[in-house]
Amino acid sequence: MLPYQTVFFDLDGTICDSQPGIYACAVYALEKMGCPIPDDATLRRFMGPPLAESFANFCGMTEEEAIRASNFYRERYNPIGWKENRVFPRIRQLLCELKKRGAFVAVATGKPQASAEKILSYFGLTQYLDAVAGPQNGEFHISKQELIRRAMPENAGKCVMVGDTVGDVEGARVCGIDSVGVLYGYGVNEEIMASKPTHIAETTDDLCNILCPGMEKGKGWFVTLEGVDGCGKSTQAAMLKEKLEQFGYTVHRTREPGGCPLAEEVRKMLLAKEDGGMCPETEALLFAAARAQHIHQVILPKVEEGTIVLCDRFVDSSIAYQGDARGLEREWIMEINRVALTKGMPSATLYLRMSAEDAFRRRLAESEPDRIEQMGLQFQQKIEQGYEQLMQEFPQRFVAVDATKQPEEVAREAFEKLFDRMNREGIL
């Protein structure tokens, strides 16, 4: 049985961190106005009060200037800034768990209701909520108690309001319900403590313990990225990590060959220009050796902790490169990679699909080739065929995206497909 049957959450500073977007838009507006950029402490004061008031009070603008600055702010906030929110870690899991255990879960926020709904929907959180209450069009300064009342269901049972400011705690008190003051948001901690909420949560872990005692850590997930040399994997891995973190996931990015000290040593041998006459079998065994260490030392423990592990290349690379391109038997490659196949296979493999020709052209313009990259176009074509075959063989695991598009477009498509799969698999 949950301690509270109805839980109201504040949005900014409680469910998500809106600071990156707010700072970036304030800086954009100030630059447009030709004003100096204030220090972080001043920018922090933009969190909360109405915009024009902040520009007037903290940057010494006249009323007319403050209105112009606010318009510049919106010029960036409306298309981009609101998407720069970051969901706090474990909040997605907490909302899902509350819902699963039968609680009524609502958001009561001072942010206009339409904006709040847009943000919650973008971050995939709407599915866990029963109600969202925020000021409607044209309404100003609605008190927290009024918002709580609007979201209150019939037969609410025991209720609690969770928030990072004194307004949240006092709103709860006026409504006669309990409160949790969270200290990881934007409120002044001494003030929240002084307002005497029923509970204090220093971290989102504390919050989980208060609202959902006994809640376990989330499931981890193992994702690999594959593609021919030059398909843009490193850029995509970095963008994917950033996006997943924004959505509240804990992510560990790693690569093969490498990812732990011993495997990084093996990597130096494998990619050195001077290869000492390395034969294909030795090459395949070295990749497999580095991989075994990486799986035991990094991948499995991280997934066990509930982390999303993003790995740049994995066993599919050995099959495509050492198998299909170098001509070693696939069965033997599988045999020497048994640790990967039996203990550490990825749940999903993002395949950045690009023809060997396109990738070759792109690479020529960029960096100096390493030993494997020096093998030339025909070699890359065999790798491409190898991947195409793997994609046919493992349609469940492979998530293919067209990597010839603009990097932002590829990243958007890749994230959407993976996030959809994570939702279906209950990865929170």
Write the interaction track for ligand TYD spanning residues 194-233; mark x where CB under 6 A is met and - where it is not: -----------------------------------x---x
Q: Is 253 in the site for ligand TYD (CB under 6 A)?
A: no
State which residue, 104 or 314, has the beta carbon closest to ligand TYD.
314
Q: Is 8 in the site for ligand TYD (CB under 6 A)?
A: no
Which range of residues in 70-78, 212-220, 255-263, 396-404 is near ligand TYD by CB under 6 A?
255-263
- Residue 156: DSSP 8-state: -
- Chain-centre distance of CA 413, in angstroms? 15
Collapsing DSSP states into helix, strand and coil, what is residue 99? helix
384 binds ligand TYD (CB under 6 A): no
Number of residues located near ligand TYD, criterion CB under 6 A: 17
Transcribe 243-284 into DSSP letters: HHHHTT--EEEEESS-SSHHHHHHHHHHH-S--TT--HHHHH
Span from 212-220, 237-245, 249-257, 411-419 in contact with ligand TYD (CB under 6 A): 249-257
Residue 254 contacts ligand TYD per CB under 6 A: no
Return the closest-CA partner of residue 105 out of 159, 141, 143: 159
Give phi and psi for 169, each to the nearest 5. -65, -45
Q: What is the largest CA-CA distance in the chain?
A: 79
User: Nearest residue to ligand TYD, using CB?
Assistant: 321
Q: Which is nearer to ligand TYD, 127 or 234 (CB)?
A: 234
Residue 139 as a binder of ligand TYD (CB under 6 A): the answer is no
Residue 413 binding ligand TYD, by CB under 6 A: no
Q: At what angle do helices 166-175 and 144-151 cross, to 10 degrees?
A: 60
Site for ligand TYD in 292-321 (CB under 6 A): 312-313, 317-318, 321
By the rule CB under 6 A, 324 interacts with ligand TYD: no
Block residue for tokens 């995509």: 236
Q: Tally Cβ neighbours within 10 Å of residue 210.
A: 18
Q: Give the number of other CB atoms < 10 A from CB of residue 117.
A: 17
Binding site for ligand TYD (CB under 6 A): 229, 233-234, 255-257, 271, 287, 312-313, 317-318, 321-322, 370, 372-373
